[in-house]
Structure 1
């Protein structure tokens, strides 16, 4: 009997569940383990060293659970930890494991969604300050101008389920206005945090109709489908019992209550 393993999906909190939802919808036959590091969330304002440390600890925990492939469904972790994990930790300690992020698959296709070649990126301070999107988008679309806006209040509002309340409007309007003030030619806005899709109703009301608002779930899922086609040596080892297991570093009861909002169905989690 051949050894099989689940796909690991990691996020600093709940946001990665929006990516997990899209992946599970496109690839329902596989086994998955989701880990949310809710006890230490949000990651956005932590230092590079802290984010790398936390992310590596969670990746290694998923490896210990049998995952051979881990998706960092977190922009901050992808921006500040992925490269070091791929270039340093995997070759030295885990040569048979793979860790992928959400930035590259997004950068590979974003040019398909803009006519003006001016793209707005909204994310956490960590993601914006890393300038990862500027660098990655430039590799694939050197003619695209990337304008960024950090939105430090959005993740706390979402994780406390206050994002659709009237009190959230001030911070939504403020960050959107600051982005659009940078250029009137922006015609595509990337929500570069996996929490932000929950703000779509309010963002669509704030931004002009001509602006494409991109979320990452479907993009990352499409990228994973393509990756597995190109790497049958990994795809052949993934378990196919359709299991979905959820773990959190925080309180499972609190996780379950909030996670269903992000994942779209009831979730039963365990402590990591």
Structure 2
């Protein structure tokens, strides 16, 4: 009988639940484990070295739980830590295990949404500073102009439950205005932070109807489905009982209450402590 080998889904906090929700909807047959590093969130303002260390600790924890595949459902972790983990750490830990991110699959398709080849990327300061989206999008779409804008207030607005307030509207408008002042002809905006879909009401209110707003959940889910199809050796390892377990590095009750907003369904989480690499 095959041991349980779930897909691991990681985020610095709650935002990755918006990715997990779409993955579970498209691929319900697999087992999943979600871990939010809420005790040390947010990652967006932390250094490359710190994000790498924290993300590596999480990846090792997932491997200890039996996960053969881990998805970093966090833009900052994908931008700042993924490549180093893939190139330097996986060969030493277990070269048959895999860690995937969400920057590349998003970058592979985002250019297809734009008609005039002008795309705005809204993200955390850390993701913007990494230049990951600009670099990756231009690999696949060299003729696309990518304009980035950091929105440092947006994650706290969501985390503290203020995303539906008039105050949130003010800060959403502020950053959108600054983005569109830089390039008024943007016709596609990528929400390159998994928290930002919760602000969609205000985002759409403050832009013209001709601008497309793209969230990542569906894109990442389709990319994972394609990856598993192209890698049957990995797909065959993943257990298929349709289970889903939630973990947090912070207090369980608080995480469960807040995370319901992101996932849309009630669940209970367990607390874990990540060890130093």
1:221-256 CA deviation, whole Å, 9 max, x = no partner?
000000000000010111111110000001110111
1:54: Cα distance to partner? 0.5
CA deviation vs aligned residue, 1:130-159 (integer Å, no higher than 9, x gap): 000011001100000000000001111101
**C-alpha separation in 2, matches of 1:267 and 1:173:** 33
Q: What's 1:82 paired with?
A: 82
Which residue in 1 is equivalent to 2:131?
A: 131
- Secondary structure of 1:9's match? strand
Distance 1:41 1:102 in 2: 18
Q: Which residue of 2 aligns with 1:151?
A: 151
Q: Which runs of 5+ in 1 are unaligned?
A: none
Following superposition of structure 1 onto structure 2, how do residues 9-88 of structure 1 map, counting pairs within 5 Å?
Answer: 9-88=9-88
- 1:2 deviates by 3.5
Q: CA deviation at 1:112?
A: 1.1
What's the CA shift for 1:3?
3.9
Residues 159-198 of structure 1 deviation map (CA, whole Å, 9 limit, x = unaligned) = 1111111121221111111110111110000000001100
CA-to-aligned-CA distance 1:18-77 (integer Å, 9 cap, x gap): 000000000000000000000000000000000000010011111111101000000000
TM-score after normalising by structure 2: 0.97
Pairs aligned (count):
272
2:2–2:239 CA contact under 8 A, matched in 1 = no
Aligned to 1:239: 239
TM-score (norm. length: structure 1): 0.99
Distance 2:265 2:189 in 1: 28
Structure 1 Cα separation of the partners of residues 152 and 228 of structure 2: 34
Partner of 2:256: 256
CA separation in 1, counterparts of 2:173 and 2:202?
9
**Superposed counterparts of 1:127-206, under 5 Å:** 127-206=127-206
DSSP 3-state at the match of 2:163: coil
Moved over 2 A (4+): 1-4
Q: Name the CA distance, whole Å, in 2 between partners of 1:241 and 1:227.
A: 20
**Alignment check: 8 A CA contact 1:3 1:237 kept:** no
1:258 and 1:2 map into 2 onto residues whose CA distance is: 34
Distance of 2:63 and 2:168 partners within structure 1: 38
Taking the aligned partners of 2:13 and 2:251, their CA distance within structure 1 comes to 12
Whether contact under 8 Å (1:12, 1:74) holds in the other structure is yes
